[in-house]
Structure 1
Amino acid sequence: MSSSHALPRMMCPLETPTNGGERCACRRLPRLRPVPPPGLSFSSLYPKDDTERGEADRAAAASPSPPKSSRVSVARWPSARPSIGTALTPSQPAVASPPKLTEGLARSIARDNIIIVTWANDHFSDFVFNWVHHIQKHGIANYLVGAMDRKIGARLAQAGIQAFAMYEEGTGAVAGLHTGAFVWGGRHFHMMGREKVRLAKTFTGFGLDLMLCDVDVVWVKDPTKYFAAIPQADVLTSSDELHSTIPAGDTGLEEPEAAHAAMNIGLMFFRHSEHTKALVDAWNARLEADAKLWDQEAFNSLVREGFVPFKRHPDNSRVFAGFRQTVWVGILPVAAFASGHTFFVQDLHKVQRVDPFVVHTTFQYGGPAGKRTRLRERGLWADPPGYFQGRFISADLASPATPPGWDSMNTDQRIDFHKQSMARQLKELRELLQLAVALDRIVVMPRLICFCDRYWAPVEGCRIPGAFATALPFTCPLDHILEPFHMDDDPLLFGTPLRFREYSFLERKPPSMAYQEATLVFGDGGLAQIPSNPENRTKVKLPTNYSERILRRQLEPFSKTEFLWIEGLSKVRGSLVNQDGFEKRVGHLAGIWCCQGKKGGYSYAPMLLHAAK
């Protein structure tokens, strides 16, 4: 069952989708350089070679392995382990591998018979550390991480993170799986999905209630009491629904007859029972019978078998009978168990007046790099102090105002205004990026304002169909406009790399860290220093036309000033020593917008490439 508001089947949970292909055509994407782990003591646990992760991605696409069956291995967690914030010392010998999984280990971790589990390979180790950081930050102790390969297993064991080995002794990874990226629709992606089902089978077989979640989620509140308060449900899942079906202030489940979108298996709660085990067994059997079947598609299909006649639970009308009317199922509220759209674009939790429990980075366009950036933008990615050290440059762009008559504009008129508005903003952004290159600084991205949402299909009134609560305009997530993974990939092919930080960077920096600041004011006249200003910040007046060599010489006295603010960007015209390399880079990092009916979408590249003309 579906409606016109259901998520198209092209939705890609781990990669960036394009607009063609079967089910989900996912482009092969390079990755942003890996970031250090959130646990400040663990920098040595991460790859020292910045290319290591990118090479793994390329290998994943070039040489997929045939699928093989694998099972969770078992053993006991050591009795003593350091906390995540504890540095290892010579008196604490490094643990070579996490323990294997046993029922005893799982039960020792569970609280109120509930355990929260994620799993990952080494390619997503930074997501694992971020996941654990926020789990622990919010006092959630009943968690376990499944290590899919020996490399991430060693990192987790050395960090004292509650983990278990999913690979067998003497092997480097779960049988048949590599340690690189899981490209949507590929063999390894499907095999990784089978591991999810095996985990569900294993933990429910232990007699535990399992919250199973993808590693690209961030927990911001302990869900244990919420799950315990819905004893009628055998299974609870998140949803790709884009609007809430319940009144504001209501903390219950979504109305099942109104929530038509796909159940998203990135967040699933299984209450152990014979009915639940039967569903999981059927799910596993269906996937074993078809190596190319998407696990989420199989789950949705099974749950909706025998869906009609529709039946509600007598003690909870928002719990319905699924899987041949043998399993009681509930749809988690989309504002509190948020998707990448209901949280990052709609702020639906504010509209619904509820506190979110978790954020899942779906509905985004930048692959893992886009997910990291979105989480950073909203203060949900843990970075070490070194991330906030360096020499930075930023500016406030001219904020576009909502035009008169906006409410009466049709979709095409709104899209036209969005293009015009974005062209003006990108003109100034281009100059800021060029100044960052000229002065060898890290650009702190300014806020960009979007008057239209981005989608994989036509929008309605500049909103995704069904996303009724989207306020227009809104602050754009960076991956709506630019491709974060193209900021600094392969300089030989794509020109001058750009180092960047998210627009909320200054809000996120440690309170104890202060920057020496100066403002560069571009305008008429020559070089001059402005003696006083309300911000008590040094101000330097500069001519609007500059060359990289001269500008560097003029600003040599400020070479150690940590933060430069720019004023007068709309007037700036500059030139770089390697202007061609810069043009190649900005053309490469520009994103696309989609979609305007039969007209399709367009690229932002011309707005960046031609902004200076």
Structure 2
Amino acid sequence: MVFNPTTRIMFLCFTVFVAISTYVLIVTHHVKLPTVTYSTTPDHREKIGAEMLHHSLLEDFSKYDADGDSRLSVHEFAAMLKDNQAKALSAQQQAVETQKQIDTVVEAAAKAAADVKAGVIKPGATDAKAGAAKSDLDTLDDGEYDDVEEYDLGAVTANNPDEADYEEPDDVWGAGSTTTTTSGDTKTGGGAAAKTGAAAKAAAEDEQATTRQAGGADDALGRAAGGGADKAAAAAAGDDAALDTTATTGAAVAAAAANALAAVRASVTGCPDLSRELVADFARDNTIMLTVADWRIFGSMGINWMKHLAKYNVDYWLVGATCVKTAQFLGHTGKHPCFKFYEDGSHTSTDQYKYGDSHYNAATWRKVVVVSRIVHWGFNVIHSDVDVVWFRDPLPYFLGPAMDRVDMAVSSDLISTGNPKGDDGLEVGMHQHTNFNTGVYFVRATPGGKSLMAGWSSMRSTNFHDNDQVGIYKFIRGRPSHMDGRVLVLGVLAGEAEAAKRYEADPEAFTRKVVSDPLPVSTEMRLGGLGVHMLLNGYSYFIPKLQLQMNVSSLGIHMTWVPLSKEGKFHRFRDGMLYDDPPDYYDAPDRHYLTADIDAPDAPEGFNTWRETEDMIQVHLKNMPPQLQQMYRAMAVAAVLNRTLIFPTLKCYCFKNWFMSEQCRIPGDKVTQFPLECALDQVFRPKVLYNYPPLNTSRGPQNFTFREYSMLDNPRTPAVVKSGQVLVVPEGEAPGNTTGFVQVLSIKPNLKQDELVKALQPIHDAKVIRLRHVMKLFGGFDDQVLKASFESFADAVTANWCCRDEPYIKKGLQRKVKMVMAW
């Protein structure tokens, strides 16, 4: 049959219509996709692709369903296609660039090997290009990282006060936006300060991290990936060619060249593949500590994690590098305390993990698969997120008597302990419905530990829409159990023993088609909860301070129960003196500080025994404004004098949270006493403070720099700073305690900007100026440009207090109340 052109066009249109309609029916749930099965054993990438098929079709549906009718219109569907086409084009371009880089490296290696063979260069020598690569690596060590995102003022002004609201205490893995913090300044605006000379190189080891929160190393690491690979190519080729000088056959020459090229290819990523030999190389007492991160989180918190482990000579750790930047950072030093953790092209500089999306969930499951593999190789595993600070080497504890009756011990999101004082054992009262937190756990290579990890990791193929933590909830709660003292004993379900045999025969090939398929569990599993006071969180450490209350040597802190923004979590580390900044963060020749003593109202008599939460909230909301008035003046004087503000200590009378508290505490907290020192995020918005652009003045832009309120108590702060304080008070006011001050200066009260600068000129070299009675020290701005800019800043950086429940809102009360810092 022959079709005329009109018929052909109609047939083509009909075919396109059917294809689009079918796709729309799929993504709107009108047509159910068939269950994916495997006729043969797929390789790793094919298996991942098959497991993620359904979610790949559905993951972005809600974003394009603009009218919320659970269906995609033609225009909505067209928008989805357009965006997906753009993503595909970007991925294709990235793949082309990556291949070009590899080809360049391989060609350089081959040329270098040929030159050595021909005697053009001597074995081990490098050329000019390799020398340039060394310069790039020196730059990497110096921490000259540039920003990769620009600050969007519209997103963080008072018109959007919810930007820094609290969210649930789930882990953030590399989420959040770039900060603009440098190794020397916590400041609004500004890029990294470049270090030069011998001093910079001497500090390179400490400065590799800087204090930047995001993947701002794109340029430096991009150069290292290219030029550094050239250097590695020449060196590798030279070494192998040197060995080849004794070769007499073409086969030996080819083998040497192949070794050189293999070394070069490894240098492109910096980390080798995971292997039993790699784990054995780093394990201690048959135990390995494992973390996984991308550069956006590892570039600050991960390096802090490393520094704290180094204090206690903990070297039995490995990092799963989820991007090239992290791999390059860890791998370029020569030894590889890392392994490649990315797959399917997920290793670009723009790659990031956002809590709850498919990419995040898939990565959490891959973590579980990796831990399971290591445990089945016969190693115990301590899993640690990078937002953990260890207070001591945890290995003796995990291999000691406290853990000798469990196959797995896992942390939780609880904020109070039921253990008696001095008891450092497993948490009492754990049960199947405890909210465990998989950010930190210890699993033994016992039959029970292997069985638990096999079962948990095998949920990946059917539970990919959940993250690993939700997965373990379902694993624990969906099976018979009983308590044996403090240990939860998990039983085996029907059919699981047979599934375990199939798993043992070929773990890589094992998969489940549907959720009801048995998991590969062969024996009972003994699960314990880490003591809440042994592995603390961002609430239990800072608010009730269980580490001081319980008379035990806590293991560390996992920074949960804090604002979800990376800046908030990062600054909470600094508030707690838990972040190991480089030395010039605490002192530098041209850096001068200002702080103030804030007068806080007393809490009413018996306040900590009050039962009515709303009455306590009213006290908090009444007592914060007078403190913020003083804070306004202290911050204004710091701006006028262009000094770095050490945040004055404020007192809080009610804990800020994302749901209503009980007696202003998280339910279950029995020991917190008010008032308490306010963490920065209780009153201010760390995300805004860390990213705010320079203030405007009549003389031009000026950064507002700041430090955490605890800096003068930090043992890392030099004595010259702590002992170099000058006290300033207004005339007619008592100075109070003057112990430890090098000078006390009384000035006329209420001086305006220019007069205040003149009055303080005699102490302009003082390391720290401390203000008292600040309400009577500053009379206002003369620079009207600075005044307008500062007032906008003061309004933008303060947060909401939160939260009230619906019954109170129905009475006319606000769920959230904006903290106001004004004149």
Question: Normalized against structure 1, the TM-score is what?
Answer: 0.80
Residues 236-291 of structure 1 deviation map (CA, whole Å, 9 limit, x = unaligned): 10011121122111111112446954100000111123443343333334333344
Q: Contact 2:537/2:561 (CA < 8 Å) preserved in 1?
A: yes
Q: Contact 2:381/2:444 (CA < 8 Å) preserved in 1?
A: yes
Matching residue of 2:373: 202
Matched, 1:413 2:584: no
Letter in 2 for 1:447: T
C-alpha displacement of 1:445: 1.0
C-alpha displacement of 1:506: 1.2
Matching residue of 1:585: 793
Matching residue of 2:572: 374
Q: Contact 1:303/1:322 (CA < 8 Å) preserved in 2?
A: yes
Task: Find the aligned partners of 2:656 and 2:359 in 1 and give their Cα distance.
Answer: 29
Matching residue of 2:708: 502
Q: Contact 1:366/1:484 (CA < 8 Å) preserved in 2?
A: no
Pick from 580, 600, 608 the counterpart of residue 821 of structure 2.
608
Matched, 1:318 2:486: yes
Matched, 1:514 2:720: yes
Q: 1:191 to 1:338 in 2, by over 3 A?
A: same
Residues 371-423 of structure 1 deviation map (CA, whole Å, 9 limit, x = unaligned): 22222222211111110122110012113322124224521111111111222
Task: Find the aligned partners of 1:255 and 1:475 in 2 and give their Cα distance.
Answer: 30
Pick from 542, 567, 580 the counterpart of residue 344 of structure 1.
542
Matched, 1:253 2:426: yes
Pick from 364, 372, 375 the counterpart of residue 562 of structure 2.
364
Pick from 330, 340, 362 the counterpart of residue 166 of structure 1.
340
Matching residue of 2:278: 105
Task: Find the aligned partners of 2:465 and 2:420 in 1 and give their Cα distance.
Answer: 39
Matched, 1:468 2:615: no
SS state at 1:382 partner: coil
Pick from 177, 180, 184 the counterpart of residue 33 of structure 1.
180
Q: Contact 1:365/1:480 (CA < 8 Å) preserved in 2?
A: no
Task: Find the aligned partners of 2:167 and 2:387 in 1 and give their Cα distance.
Answer: 25
Q: Contact 1:244/1:335 (CA < 8 Å) preserved in 2?
A: yes
Matched, 1:42 2:240: no
Matched, 1:148 2:322: yes
Task: Find the aligned partners of 1:203 and 1:604 in 2 and give their Cα distance.
Answer: 49
Q: Contact 1:17/1:24 (CA < 8 Å) preserved in 2?
A: no
Q: 1:222 to 1:167 in 2, by over 3 A?
A: closer
Between 1:585-594 and 1:542-551, the stretch displaced more is: 542-551
Matched, 1:300 2:473: yes
Q: 1:459 to 1:536 in 2, by over 3 A?
A: closer
Q: 1:54 to 1:370 in 2, by over 3 A?
A: farther
SS state at 1:520 partner: strand
Q: Contact 2:411/2:530 (CA < 8 Å) preserved in 1?
A: yes
SS state at 1:238 partner: strand
Task: Find the aligned partners of 2:358 and 2:207 in 1 and give their Cα distance.
Answer: 32
Matched, 1:280 2:453: yes
Which residues in structure 2 correspond to 1:454-603 (within 5 Å)? 454-491=656-693, 498-508=704-714, 510=716, 512-515=718-721, 516-523=724-731, 535=740, 537-571=742-776, 572-575=778-781, 576=783, 577-598=785-806, 599=809, 601-603=815-817
Q: Contact 2:610/2:663 (CA < 8 Å) preserved in 1?
A: no
C-alpha displacement of 1:345: 1.3
Which residues in structure 2 correspond to 1:51-130 (within 5 Å)? 53=216, 97-124=270-297, 125-130=299-304
Letter in 2 for 1:401: D
Q: Contact 2:179/2:213 (CA < 8 Å) preserved in 1?
A: no
SS state at 2:720 partner: coil
Matching residue of 1:64: none
Question: Normalized against structure 2, the TM-score is what?
Answer: 0.60
Q: 1:387 to 1:523 in 2, by over 3 A?
A: same
Gaps of 5+ in 2: 1-161, 185-199, 220-265, 494-523
Matching residue of 1:226: 397
Q: Contact 1:244/1:254 (CA < 8 Å) preserved in 2?
A: yes
Matching residue of 1:402: 603
SS state at 2:552 partner: coil
SS state at 1:565 partner: strand
Q: 1:50 to 1:412 in 2, by over 3 A?
A: closer
C-alpha displacement of 1:492: 7.3
Q: 1:324 to 1:50 in 2, by over 3 A?
A: closer
Letter in 2 for 1:453: F
C-alpha displacement of 1:558: 3.2
Residues 461-486 of structure 1 deviation map (CA, whole Å, 9 limit, x = unaligned): 11111122222222222111112221
Task: Find the aligned partners of 1:474 and 1:29 in 2 and give their Cα distance.
Answer: 28
Letter in 1 for 2:753: E
Task: Find the aligned partners of 1:480 and 1:387 in 2 and give their Cα distance.
Answer: 24
SS state at 1:311 partner: strand
Matched, 1:448 2:448: no
Task: Find the aligned partners of 2:452 and 2:726 in 1 and give their Cα distance.
Answer: 62
Matching residue of 1:330: 528
In angstroms, what is the RMSD of aligned CA positions? 3.6
Task: Find the aligned partners of 2:754 and 2:333 in 1 and give their Cα distance.
Answer: 46
Q: Contact 1:122/1:179 (CA < 8 Å) preserved in 2?
A: no
Gaps of 5+ in 1: 1-14, 57-93
Letter in 1 for 2:640: A
C-alpha displacement of 1:559: 3.1
C-alpha displacement of 1:330: 0.4
SS state at 1:587 partner: helix
Task: Find the aligned partners of 1:16 and 1:282 in 2 and give their Cα distance.
Answer: 39
C-alpha displacement of 1:174: 6.5
Q: 1:583 to 1:603 in 2, by over 3 A?
A: farther
Residues 472-508 of structure 1 deviation map (CA, whole Å, 9 limit, x = unaligned): 2222221111122211414279997532111110122
Letter in 1 for 2:489: A
C-alpha displacement of 1:161: 7.2
SS state at 1:344 partner: coil
Letter in 2 for 1:175: S
Task: Find the aligned partners of 2:627 and 2:684 in 1 and give their Cα distance.
Answer: 13
C-alpha displacement of 1:211: 0.5
SS state at 1:578 partner: helix
Matching residue of 1:90: none
Q: Contact 2:167/2:564 (CA < 8 Å) preserved in 1?
A: no
C-alpha displacement of 1:114: 1.4
C-alpha displacement of 1:305: 1.6
SS state at 1:136 partner: helix
SS state at 2:356 partner: coil
Letter in 2 for 1:573: G
C-alpha displacement of 1:312: 2.6
Corresponding pairs, count = 544
Q: 1:49 to 1:117 in 2, by over 3 A?
A: closer
Q: 1:152 to 1:47 in 2, by over 3 A?
A: farther
Q: 1:429 to 1:543 in 2, by over 3 A?
A: same
SS state at 2:204 partner: coil
